[in-house]
Amino acid sequence: MRNRGHLLTEQRNARSDNIDRMTIGDAFETVNAEDRSVAGAVAAAKLDICAAVELITAAFRRGGRLIYVGAGTSGRLGVMDAAECPPTFLSDPRMVQGIIAGGPDALQRSVEDAEDRADAGAAAVDELAVQPRDIVFGITTGGTTPFVHGALSRATELGAGTVFLACVDAEQVPDDADVTIRVLVGPEIVTGSTRMKAGTATKMVLNMISTLSMMGIGKIYKNYMVDLNTRGCDKLLDRGIRVVEALSGRSREQASRLLEDANYRVKTAIVMDQLSVDRPTADRLLKQHYGLIRSVLAEETPRP
C-alpha cells in the first residue's frame, strides 16, 4: 500500500492545531480564515484554467462532450456540475456528463474501494464511447486516485483531449494530461479531509470551466443566461421573461408574449425583437452564427 503522507492534501495544518479544544466561535474563525484562502489558490491557476476552457470550448464547437471523472467528493462535484448545465444553458444532457467511481450509488453513500480500480475507470470511459472530439476531465484532489488515472489513460489511447485537476503539485504526483490544473490550497483544517478547502476549490474551478466554456459557444449574452430552459419550472420561466424584458426594454406582459412567440427560447426572442424578424428567420440567423447573439446583431442592422 502506497504511503501518501507526503502529499500536500494529507499534511497537518498547524493553524488548526487543537481545534477540538477551541470554542465554537474560534473554530468557526479558523475554518473561515482557511476558506478565504481558496480563491487566491484558484487565481494562481488562472493560466491553466483558461487553457482548459479553450480546449473544452473548441471541443463543444466540433460537437464534442465534456466528461468529468472522479471519486468521492470529486466525483460528486463533477456529476453536480454536469447536472446543472441543461437547466442553466439548455444544453443536451449528453454534452456534459459526470462519471463517479462506484456508479450512481456513490452519489448518496460512500463507496470507498471503487476508487482503487484503474481498470474500472477505463471501462467507464469505454462505456460512454469516448471519441477523439471529446474531453475527459479527471478530478482527484490528492492526485493519486487510480480510477481517475485509468480513465485518463484510456481517453488518451482513444485520442480524446484530457484535463487533470489536483490540489497537489506535479512534483508530488505527475500526470500526462493535455492541460493540468493545480490548485494548491494547502493542508486541510481536519487533516486529509479534502471535502473542505480542496472540495471548495474544485467547485469553484468547475463552475468557472463550465460557465466560461458555455459562454464561448453563445450560451451567455452580456451577463445573462440566454439559453436557459424556460420550460423547466416557474422560476426558470420567470427568469427568461425578465431577461427578455431587460434586453428588449419591453413591459413584462410584452416580454412574455414575445418569449411565447419565440417558442420559449430566450435567444430567439432577443433576435426577433432587435431585428424585427419572425421566429424562423431568427432561428436561421442564430444557426448561421453558431448561436452567438453578438455575431447576429453585428451583421444585421438593428431596428431604429
Taking the alpha carbons at both ends of the chain, their separation in whole angstroms is 72
Q: Determine if residue 185 is left, alpha or beta; phi over 0 gives left, psi from -120 to 50 gives alpha, anything else beta.
A: alpha
Q: What tens-digit pLDDT sequence spans the chain (304 residues)?
A: 665 657 666 667 768 788 888 999 999 999 999 999 999 999 999 999 999 999 999 999 999 999 999 999 999 999 999 999 999 998 999 999 999 999 888 888 877 677 889 999 999 999 999 999 999 999 999 988 999 999 999 999 999 999 999 999 998 899 999 999 999 998 888 887 788 889 999 999 999 999 999 999 999 999 998 998 898 789 999 999 999 999 999 999 999 999 999 999 999 999 999 999 999 999 999 999 988 999 999 865 444 3
C-alpha cell at 75: 466525483
**Catalytic-role residue among 34, 54, 112, 115:** 115
**Catalytic-role residue among 29, 34, 54, 84:** 84
Instruction: Please spell the DSSP secondary structure of 225-276, one letter per residue.
Output: E-S--TTS-HHHHHHHHHHHHHHH---HHHHHHHHHHTTT-HHHHHHHHHHT
Domains of the chain: 8-216 (3.40.50.10490), 220-299 (1.10.8.1080)
Q: Is 84 a catalytic residue?
A: yes
Give the count of alpha carbons within 13 A of 98, CB side only: 26
Predicted structure pTM score? 0.88
